[in-house]
Amino acid sequence: MPLRVAIVGSGPAGIYTAEALTKQSAEPVEVDVLERLPTPYGLVRYGVAPDHTSIKSIAGYLRRVLEQPGIRFLGGVELGRHITVDDLRAAYDAVVYCTGAMVDRRMNIPGEDLPGSVAATDFVNWYCGHPDVPADAFTLDSTEVAVIGVGNVAVDVVRILAKTAAELRTTDVPEEVLGALADSQVKAIHMIGRRGPEHAKFTLKELRELGELANADVSVRPDEAGDNDVSELSRQIRGNVEVLRGWAARTPVGRPRRLDVRFWLRPVEIIGTDRVEGIRLERTALSDGRVVGTGVFETIPAGMVLRSVGYQSVPLPGVPFDERSATVPNTAGRIAPGQYVAGWLKRGPTGVIGTNKSDAAETVRTLLADLAAEPVAPPAVRLDDLLAERGVRPITYAEWLSIEAAEAERARSLGRGERVKLVGLAAMLAACGREQAPA
Ligand SMILES: Cc1cc2nc3c(=O)[nH]c(=O)nc-3n(C[C@H](O)[C@H](O)[C@H](O)COP(=O)(O)OP(=O)(O)OC[C@H]3O[C@@H](n4cnc5c(N)ncnc54)[C@H](O)[C@@H]3O)c2cc1C
Ligand SMILES: NC(=O)c1ccc[n+]([C@@H]2O[C@H](COP(=O)([O-])OP(=O)(O)OC[C@H]3O[C@@H](n4cnc5c(N)ncnc54)[C@H](OP(=O)(O)O)[C@@H]3O)[C@@H](O)[C@H]2O)c1
**Is the confidence at residue 336, as pLDDT, over 90?**
yes
Cα within 13 Å of Cα(133), Cβ side = 22
Q: Ligand 2: which of 104, 123, 150, 153 to mutate, judged by most atoms within 8 Å of the beta carbon?
A: 153
Angle (CA) 191-197-201 rounded to 5° is: 75
Distance 349 CA to ligand 2 centre (A): 9
Closest ligand 2 atom number to CA of residue 52: 1
Helix (H) or strand (E) holding 340, with range, is strand 339-341
Q: Ligand 1: which of 15, 43, 400 to mutate, judged by most atoms within 8 Å of the beta carbon?
A: 43
**Is the confidence at residue 173, as pLDDT, over 70?**
yes
Contact 280, 271 (CB under 8 A): yes
Strand, helix or coil at 215? Answer: coil
**Is the confidence at residue 438, as pLDDT, over 70?**
no
Give the closest residue to 280 by CA, choosing from 290, 291, 258, 295. Answer: 295
Closest ligand 1 atom number to CA of residue 100: 27
Q: What is the pLDDT of residue 439?
A: 57
**Is the confidence at residue 1, as pLDDT, over 90?**
no
Q: Ligand 2: which of 194, 286, 325 to mutate, judged by most atoms within 8 Å of the beta carbon?
A: 194
Give the closest residue to 277 by CA, choosing from 309, 299, 308. Answer: 299
Whether residue 51 has its Cβ less than 6 Å from ligand 1: no
Distance 256 CA to ligand 1 centre (A): 33
Give the closest residue to 359 by CA, choosing from 334, 381, 333. Answer: 333
- Residues 367-403 pLDDT 10s: 999 999 998 888 989 999 999 999 999 999 999 999 9
**Is the confidence at residue 353, as pLDDT, over 80?**
yes
> How many residues would you count in the chain?
439
Looking at the DSSP bridge assignments, the partners of residue 396 are none
**Who's near 176: CB < 8 A, 6+ residues apart?**
135, 136, 423
Q: Which residue has the least CA distance to atom 5 on ligand 2? A: 152
Q: Which residue has the least CA distance to atom 15 on ligand 1? A: 352
Mean predicted confidence (pLDDT) in 64-92: 97
**Who's near 150: CB < 8 A, 6+ residues apart?**
191, 192, 193, 200, 201, 202, 261, 263
Whether residue 42 has its Cβ less than 6 Å from ligand 1: yes
Looking at the DSSP bridge assignments, the partners of residue 271 are 278
One-letter amino acid at 58 equals I
Question: Nearest ligand, CA of residue 195?
Answer: 2
Looking at the DSSP bridge assignments, the partners of residue 104 are 311
Q: Report the phi/psi class of residue 108: left, alpha or beta, with left for phi > 0 and alpha for psi in -120 to 50.
A: left
- Residues 5-35 pLDDT 10s: 999 999 999 999 999 999 987 889 999 999 9
**Is the confidence at residue 275, as pLDDT, over 90?**
yes
Which residues are near ligand 2 (CB < 6 Å)? 107, 148-154, 156, 193-195, 199, 201, 206, 266-267, 308-311, 349-352
Find the Cα–Cα–Cα–Cα dihedral 326, 125, 210, 228, rounded to 10°.
-20
- Confidence category of residue 352, pLDDT binned at 50, 70, 90: very high
Q: Which residue has the least CA distance to atom 16 on ligand 2? A: 310
Q: What is the pLDDT of residue 378?
A: 84
Q: What is the pLDDT of residue 289?
A: 86
Q: What is the pLDDT of residue 380?
A: 87
Distance 151 CA to ligand 2 centre (A): 4
**Worst-scoring range by mean pLDDT, 92-101, 115-124, 187-196, 226-235?**
226-235
Whether residue 37 has its Cβ less than 6 Å from ligand 1: yes
Mean predicted confidence (pLDDT) in 245-250: 96
Q: 155 vs 189, 197, 201, 216, CA distance in Å?
A: 11, 14, 10, 14
Whether residue 353 has its Cβ less than 6 Å from ligand 1: yes
SS3 assignment for 280-322 = EEEEEEEECCEEEEEEEEEEEECCEEEECCCEECCCCCCCCCE
Whether residue 308 has its Cβ less than 6 Å from ligand 1: no
**Who's near 401: CB < 8 A, 6+ residues apart?**
none
Give the closest residue to 13 by CA, choosing from 365, 360, 367. Answer: 360
Rounded Cα distance between 408 and 169, Å, is: 14
Distance 274 CA to ligand 1 centre (A): 34
**Is the confidence at residue 52, as pLDDT, over 90?**
yes
Q: 36 vs 40, 79, 158, 395, CA distance in Å?
A: 9, 7, 29, 10
Give the closest residue to 39 by CA, choosing from 8, 81, 11, 69. Answer: 11
**Is the confidence at residue 201, as pLDDT, over 60?**
yes
Looking at the DSSP bridge assignments, the partners of residue 268 are none
Whether residue 156 has its Cβ less than 6 Å from ligand 1: yes
Work out the mean pLDDT of the chain and round it to a whole number: 96
Question: Nearest ligand, CA of residue 152?
Answer: 2
Mean predicted confidence (pLDDT) in 66-85: 97
Pairing outcome for strands 334-336 and 71-74: unpaired
- Residues 206-236 pLDDT 10s: 999 999 999 999 999 999 998 989 899 999 9
**Is the confidence at residue 437, as pLDDT, over 80?**
no
- Residues 302-321 pLDDT 10s: 999 999 999 999 999 999 99
Contact 279, 184 (CB under 8 A): no
Whether residue 98 has its Cβ less than 6 Å from ligand 1: yes
- Residues 408-434 pLDDT 10s: 999 999 999 999 999 999 999 999 999
Q: Which phi and psi (to 5°) does residue 415 adopt?
A: 65, 35
Cα within 13 Å of Cα(251), Cβ side = 1
Give 81-150 as a DSSP string.
TTB-HHHHHHH-SEEEE-----EEPP---TTTTSTTEEEHHHHHHHHTT-TTS-TTS-----SEEEEE--
